Amino acid sequence: MSSPNGRDGQEGDENKEKVKDENRILTILFVSLVIDLLAFTVILPILPSLLDFYGSNKEDGFYQSLMRSVNGFRELVGAPDTPRWNSVLFGGLIGSLFSLLQFLASPVVGAASDVYGRRPLLIMSMIGVAISYAIWAISHNFGLFVVARIIGGLSKGNISLSTAVVADILPQHRRGKGMALIGVAFSIGFVFGPLIGAGFSVWARQQDGAFYTPPALFALVLAVADVLFVFLFFKETLSVDKRAKSITVTSSY
């Protein structure tokens, strides 16, 4: 018969191994989020130059139609008719479209991950983001650029899935640590991503052609690397016995 001290030692070893696995998953999640957010934020400083580039094509009916709608809204709210204000409003429209689609898609992606697991939905979301960057790289007209943003917004469910992964692997009293780690990843991404984008923005002012291709390819390389990283190292965190039976039924954990 094993002694109490032996059982305590075995339980201690199991707890250490469990904590080690938790930390490994958190590290993988953190690195993945940093890569994803660096790619996501590169476009922010370039967006005004992108809109000017597409706006210079007076034959782009889609752009001109949206611009008329923006001008109508500007007149409604009484904003001044200046290039700077028009650019801000138009950029806000494009940014709001992305955020709206992310808002609509994230609950669906989260519910699907309750049924099929976090890993496949995480990889699918990241592949969708990579496809959006690939389309951005060849977006010679405004319509293609908007398609890229739509696909990116619908695919940006990996952020909400990251919080679900934290809830899967950590007990209640330790989840604050995991959520804080996600916040740190956001901070790193939103500090260094725009800095990289600013470098591309300065370079873009010296270009006459498709200046958007290099930053888009940079984001695409990061996204593909992120997909491969998650595919190789991230293990499923939601066991089959804890999964929901359908998307309309929540999981029981």
How far is it, in rounded angstroms, from Cα 156 to Cα 148?
Answer: 12
pLDDT of residue 95: 83
Of 37, 41, 29, nearest to 163 (Cα)? 29
How far is it, in rounded angstroms, from Cα 206 to Cα 173?
Answer: 53
pLDDT of residue 215: 93
Which residue in this structure is represented by tokens 């989260």?
Answer: 110
Q: What is the pLDDT of residues 198-240, one digit of tens each?
A: 998 888 777 666 788 899 999 999 999 999 999 999 999 999 9
SS3 content of the chain, % helix, strand, coil (to 5): 80, 0, 20
Q: For every one of its 253 residues, what pLDDT tens digit does the chain have, with 9 covering 90 and above?
A: 455 555 666 666 667 888 888 999 999 999 999 999 999 999 988 888 888 888 777 777 888 888 777 777 777 777 676 766 666 777 778 888 888 999 999 999 999 999 999 999 999 999 999 999 999 999 988 999 999 999 999 999 888 899 999 999 998 888 898 999 999 999 999 999 999 999 988 887 776 667 888 999 999 999 999 999 999 999 999 999 999 888 775 544 4
CA angle, corner 150, sides to 48 and 112, nearest 5?
140
How far is it, in rounded angstroms, from Cα 42 to Cα 64?
Answer: 26
Structure tokens at 110: 């989260």
Cβ–Cβ contacts within 10 Å for residue 149, how many? 20
Tell me the residue type at 57.
Answer: N
Q: Which domains does the chain have, with CATH numbers?
A: 41-234 (1.20.1250.20)
pLDDT of residue 69: 78
pLDDT of residue 253: 46
Q: Which helix (H) or strand (E) holds 201?
A: helix 175-204
Q: Are 40 and 220 in contact (CB under 8 A)?
A: no
pLDDT of residue 54: 84
Dihedral pair phi/psi, residue 211, rounded to 5°: -70, -20
Distances (CA, A) of 62 to 86, 105, 174: 16, 25, 50
CA angle, corner 149, sides to 146 and 150, nearest 5?
85
